[in-house]
Each structure stands twice: as C-alpha cells, then as structure tokens.
Amino acid sequence: MPKKIGILTGGGDCPGLNPAIRGCVYAAEKFGYQCVGITDGWKGLVEGLAVPLNKEQVEYIIGKGGTILGTSRTNPFKKEGNVKSCLDNFKKLDLHALVAMGGEDTLGVATRFHKEYKLNVVGVPKTMDNDLNATDYTFGFDTSVTSAMEAAESLIDTGRSHHRVMVLEVMGRHAGWVALFTAIASSADYVCIPEKKINTADIVLKIKEVYARKHFALVVTSEASELEEAGESAAMREVDQFGHVILRDRGMGERIAGFIEKQTGIETRAAVIGHIQRGGAPTLFDRMLATRVGVKAAELVRDGQFGMMSALVGNKITGVPLEQATGELKTVSKDWLELMEVLF
C-alpha cells in the first residue's frame, strides 16, 4: 500500500490554490504516494472528512480560481477537544503526512501541530495579502492585484468623465501590499496603507493640487488604513477565530471619500472591490509559483523535512522552517515606503 498524504487548504481562498494542489499531487504520485483531500481546511480534519485526490482529478484545475477542496477559518486550537479530533482523524485516515496550504493562521496551526504533537506536517504559503514572512511572494497576490489594478483603471475612466475624485478600497488585511501595488500599477494619485497613518493635511493638499491640474483624481486605500477622524474604537471591532479584526464593515473607502469631499468640496465616490479580487483564473505568475511550491511540498514530505514550508527565495523554491513564516506579519518595508514617497 502506498503511503498517504493529506492535503488541505485553509483560510481565505485565493487564485493559485488549485495549481498548488495539482503540483503537489503530481509530485506526490511520482514519488509513490497516494493523496487524499481534507475538505474545508482544519474543519475537515476535526471532522475526519476526506475525498480521493489523484492526477486525473487535478489535471485541468490549473486555471481555476478558488479551491476544489473547500476552505474555512476554523482554528482547532480554539475549541476544546478539536485538537484531539484532528490527531485521531490523522490516524484514522492513515495519513503519513499532511500538507497544509494557507496563510499565517492555517500555517500557525500547522506549526503548532508539528511542534507540540510531532505531526508530520509541511506547509505551502498562500495569501492574496502577501503578508507571510520567509517567502518573497505568495501566490494569489499577483492575480488579486491584477484584478484591483483593472478596477482602478475603470475608476479613472469614469472619474475623468465626471470630474470626480474616485476612491478604491482593496483588501489586504493589516499589510498594505495590495493597496500599494494596485496604486503604483494604476497610476493612482494617492495611496493609503495601514503601515502609515493617513496624514489628513497631506491628502487634502495633494488631491486639491492634482484636481486643479487634471480635474479628476484616484485614491487607492487598503481596507485597514487609519484615518484619525474615524473615531473608531478597536475594542468595538469583531474578531474571527484567529483573533483578527473583521474589516469588512469598516468602510474605509467610504470614509476617505466622505472626508475628501468635505474638505475639498469636490464630488467624490468610493468603490469596494471586495471578494471579486479573491476569485477568477490565476495569472501566469500565480500558476507557476503555485505549481512550484506545491511540487516542493511533496519533495519536503519525501525527504522527511517536516515542520518546513516551501518558499520562494530569489527565484528559487526552497524549504524554510514553518515557524519563520508564522512568527510575525510581513508588512510594507522601509524600502517600499521610500518608493511610495517618490511616487505619491
């Protein structure tokens, strides 16, 4: 009987998960393993839900958004008894190893299972937020920023026609990568990211200047930017099972638009791209990156490198300790903040 590898995808979905599953299954079968899919992230392991997964099933999923395995934001360490269920089901399903594909939350759980319970776990980094350490990029980011860039360019068209200021709110959670890349790539006039509190005098001045010159302007904001005027109490914010503030109701785009209109007297509209940027076919970059990190995960299992994650370092795919990736978030760094100063 071939040894079994379970594959799960957890946290917010993103384009690239399917190519990563495909890469992992192709390599695992080549090395003589059999794969099973654990459905809906850690919830599937808690409940012992597995589906067969083989090369024929994954052959044509490389261009499909989402994840064929389903996902959830379940944290087994949050509810008593769930860790034990995961360990029992790992045995019941007769798994030799588990490949967990996810961001800091999913991989944080993987890290704990390996460290505290010596489970044979390997990680694959994914997140449209690009906020994972120890890897240069995560798949999902390129596709979601490409969608956001196209949305921003559409807003320039309508903003220019109506002589309005347009504000686009993008996802990205507590890292500003999505907003910054979207703003640069779409020639936006201003960008707001969580790493830098919005300077209210500066944004008003810049929008007035830009508007005087071309009679429209585009602002890109992260969902997690901070506007002093917002008067929001952190304590009031709802959190998920991993303790993250749920940002969807903050309405940063609307708030910034309202602020700009009030301060400048210029008609301003806001748009939120939301989950549209989480779906759709992965770009070429994401298909290739996802395939490579998926293949590497199977290699790490074959080599007994548990507690490791496949990562992009330079242009090489390599194994790095899971702990390095999940310790702290990768937020917009000093060199990118300097570039931001030049461009906005």
Stretch that binds ligand F6P, among 20-28, 32-40, 122-130, 258-266 (CB under 6 A): 122-130
C-alpha closest to that of 144 among 109, 198, 103, 106: 103
Question: H or E stretch including 50?
Answer: strand 50-53
Residue number, 83 or 224, with CB nearest to ligand F6P:
224
- The contact mask relative to ligand F6P for 209-248 (x = CB under 6 A, - = no) is --------------x-----------------------xx
Residue 178 and residue 186: Cα distance in Å, rounded?
Answer: 12
Closer CB to ligand F6P, residue 164 or residue 330?
330
What's the CA gap between 45 and 49, in Å, rounded?
6
Which lies closer to ligand F6P via its Cβ, residue 103 or residue 159? Answer: 103
Question: Closer to ligand F6P at the Cβ: 145 or 156?
Answer: 145
Binders in 159-188 for ligand F6P, by CB under 6 A: 171-173
Q: Residue 336 region, left (φ>0) first, then alpha (ψ -120 to 50), else beta? A: alpha
Q: How far is the CB of 103 from ligand F6P (least distance, A)?
A: 6
Q: Alpha-carbon distance 72 to 39, whole Å?
A: 9
CA 258 remoteness from chain centre: 28
Q: Which of 128, 272, 298, 322 binds ligand F6P (CB under 6 A)?
A: 128
Nearer to ligand F6P, 174 or 206 (CB): 174
* CB closer to ligand F6P out of 15 and 23: 15
Written as six digits, the tokens of 2 are: 């071939």
9 binds ligand F6P (CB under 6 A): no
Judged by CB under 6 A, the stretch of 55-63, 84-92, 124-132, 255-263 that binds ligand F6P is: 124-132
Residues paired with 318 in a beta bridge: 311
- Is the separation of the CB atoms in 2 and 95 below 8 Å? no
| Interface residue with ligand F6P, options 111, 127, 146, 326 (CB under 6 A) | 127
Minimum CB separation of residue 145 from ligand F6P in Å reads 12
Q: Within positions 81 to 120, which residues make up the interface with ligand F6P, using CB under 6 A?
A: 103
Q: Which residues are catalytic?
A: 129
**Does the footprint of ligand F6P cover residue 126 (CB under 6 A)?**
no
Task: Indicate the DSSP class of residue 39.
Answer: T
Could you give the C-alpha distances from 295 to 69, 159, 321, in angstroms and in order? Answer: 17, 44, 17
- 278 binds ligand F6P per the rule CB under 6 A: yes
**Which residues ranging from 313 to 332 are in contact with ligand F6P (CB under 6 A)?**
none
Give the span between the Cα atoms of 333 and 321, in whole angstroms.
22
How many angstroms separate the CA atoms of 98 and 141, rounded? Answer: 24
Distances in whole angstroms, Cα of residue 265 to Cα of each of 133, 259, 280, 331: 42, 10, 37, 34
Which of 10, 12, 15, 65: binder of ligand F6P (CB under 6 A)?
Answer: 12
Determine the interface stretch with ligand F6P among 123-131, 189-197, 228-236, 283-291 (rule: CB under 6 A): 123-131
Question: In 10 A of CB 4, how many CB atoms?
Answer: 17
Alpha carbons within 13 A on the beta-carbon side of 312: 18
Q: Which of residues 246-275 bind ligand F6P (CB under 6 A)?
A: 247-248
Least CB distance to ligand F6P at residue 248 (A) = 5
* Residue 72: other Cβ atoms inside 10 A: 18
Select 173 or 255, whichever has its Cβ closest to ligand F6P: 173
- Contact residues for ligand F6P (CB under 6 A)? 12, 103, 127-129, 171-173, 223, 247-248, 278
